[in-house]
Structure 1
Amino acid sequence: MSLAQPPPSGSGSRDIWQDLRRHTQARIGLGRSGDAQPTRSVLEFRAAHALARDAVRQPFDIEHLAQQVTAVGLGEPVAVTSRASSREEYLRRPDLGRLPDDLSEIPCSPAQVGFVLCDGLSPAALTEHGVPLLRALTEVVGAHRTIAAPVIATGARVALGDHIGAAMGVQTVVVLIGERPGLSVAASLGLYLTHLPRPGRTDAERNCVSNVHPPDGLGYLEAARVIDALITGARRLGRSGVDLKAVSVGALDGPLDHHVVP
């Protein structure tokens, strides 16, 4: 429902919502045309809905992504799939997206941290933000921890990372996954951290850093710093999840200091 009607063009009246629109992607002050919304607002809404639907079903070029991931310098990634045999089955059967098909190609690593890049509900998000975010994570986390060769997973839900992390043999696994597209953002990444990953971990046993999609969402470097702080906290606490909280202190336009409260 519209909250206000923008002034007619050329009326000289000030649009009271103009300043607020600079600070949010929410649809506010759309105005009205009679008893309905203006045609422009309706068309913009339909276009955003179409972009969200396209993001879910966008073809995923895993070979191109693998080349980019290799260039980051963590080693050649291994590609795995879930038990969902198609995109349609993946959308209908979330349970199959949580189970691996075959993980035998994943080498066991002595590294401390492993990264898993998943298409999730927005392959478009992984295609756009996955590699830049992985670079930032490599820079921040890799400065003082060992990192295993990445894994790329298709048809994946978050819990698939528990199986992959256990197969990798890492102490902490971080899943980079395309988040469910919305009407404001169609391509956004989420990060899910699980300490001591193994099949059967619950959502309460992992931490999430969401809404990674610069310039409007969380930036790559900032997200990497939060994840690094969570890894530190999880290692001290011996577990991740609801008992582990990340607190950010600092100005939004300057370096952020992160600490973890168990």
Structure 2
Amino acid sequence: MSTLWDDLRRHTRARIGLGRTGNGVPTRQHLEFIAAHAAARDAVHVPLDVESLANRLRELGLGEAVTVHSAARDRETYLRRPDLGRIPEEGLSLHHTGSDIGSALCDGLSATALTTHGPDLVAAIAHALPGVTIAPPVIATQARVALGDHIGAQLGVTTMLVLIGERPGLSVADSLGINLTHRPRPGRTDAERNCISNIHPPHGLTYDHAARVVATLVDGARRLGTSGVALKDTSRHPTLPETELTAI
């Protein structure tokens, strides 16, 4: 027999209506909580398998992936010093491509998310952006979003996409985000970016949905000449005339 809690659970992954056994929750729900907490910790601390990720990216035909590192020398430093994750290690030198689009796949706070969703998401984005040039992907470790500004500037791309593992929670440990920056350069602020979050099918955004939003934002950024707060996602309004798109 369906209960009110059963109906509500169909619409959320939050832990609701767990029940009680004495002074605590039932054993099953307690063990599920412990497992979710362990998965979240693993997502933060397990190192990214760079070689495996590079091999999967190679299959997409976008060119050989380049690996870079932030100035944070290890995971402990990365977690304690977010500022070091925003800048490259000394001596970073990338080939200037002059491409329309650049992409950096960053471990962020969930290497699990990048490993699980990164290559398929890149493939969906490439498919959604016909007629543009895409630079070979860059894999970045111990990376924060702003590291993409340094990468994009050296690649000489018009628009930079940073795919990064988002902070895990007790419901989702493998959520991926995309940060888009037009005309990337060191010193860009978060107000100059657009973020697409919560990408983790089947419960979050699908790859195709996220790719459609990216394509809309890329087009809007090229017409506006900027990204960030002035640029809006108009992917839900495909019938609006071009003159109205940037006003939404």
TM class by shorter chain equals over 0.9
Matched with 1:43 is: 31
What SS does the corresponding residue of 2:140 show, helix, strand or coil? strand
What SS does the corresponding residue of 1:245 show, helix, strand or coil? coil
> What amino acid is the match of 1:121?
L
CA distance in 2, matches of 1:162, 1:40: 45
Structure 1 residues 101-128: Cα deviation after superposition (integer angstroms, max 9, x where no partner): 1464411012111011001000011001
Matched with 2:116 is: 128
CA separation of 1:176 and 1:147: change in aligned 2, threshold 3 A: same
What SS does the corresponding residue of 1:56 show, helix, strand or coil? helix
CA distance in 1, matches of 2:19, 2:134: 52
Structure 2, unaligned stretches of length 5 or more? none
Matched with 2:219 is: 232
Aligned residues: CA RMSD: 1.7
Q: Which moves more between the two structures, 60-69 or 157-166? A: 60-69
Matched with 1:223 is: 210
Structure 1 residues 157-207: Cα deviation after superposition (integer angstroms, max 9, x where no partner): 000000000000001000000000010000110000000000000000000
Larger radius of gyration, structure 1 or 2? Answer: 1
The yes-or-no answer on 1:193 pairing with 2:165 is no
User: 1:219, CA displacement in angstroms?
Assistant: 0.3
User: 1:257, CA displacement in angstroms?
Assistant: 7.5
Q: Which moves more between the two structures, 41-50 or 199-208? A: 41-50
Q: 1:167 aligns with which of 154, 162, 166?
A: 154
Count how many residue pairs are aligned between Structure 1 and Structure 2: 244
- Alignment identity in percent? 60
The yes-or-no answer on 1:57 pairing with 2:42 is no
Instruction: Show the 5 A alignment for 1:91-170.
Output: 91-102=79-90, 104-141=92-129, 143-170=130-157
CA separation of 1:86 and 1:104: change in aligned 2, threshold 3 A: closer
User: 1:243, CA displacement in angstroms?
Assistant: 1.0
Structure 1, unaligned stretches of length 5 or more? 1-12, 251-255
Structure 1 residues 34-75: Cα deviation after superposition (integer angstroms, max 9, x where no partner): 343222222211211111001111121101111111111110
CA separation of 1:220 and 1:103: change in aligned 2, threshold 3 A: farther
Matched with 1:241 is: 228
Matched with 1:74 is: 62
Matched with 1:3 is: none
CA distance in 2, matches of 1:29, 1:180: 25
Structure 1 residues 65-86: Cα deviation after superposition (integer angstroms, max 9, x where no partner): 1111111111001100000000
* TM-score when normalising by structure 2: 0.93
Instruction: Show the 5 A alignment for 1:203-214.
Output: 203-214=190-201
Q: Which moves more between the two structures, 219-228 or 26-35? A: 26-35
The yes-or-no answer on 1:178 pairing with 2:195 is no
CA distance in 2, matches of 1:31, 1:195: 49
CA separation of 1:257 and 1:145: change in aligned 2, threshold 3 A: farther
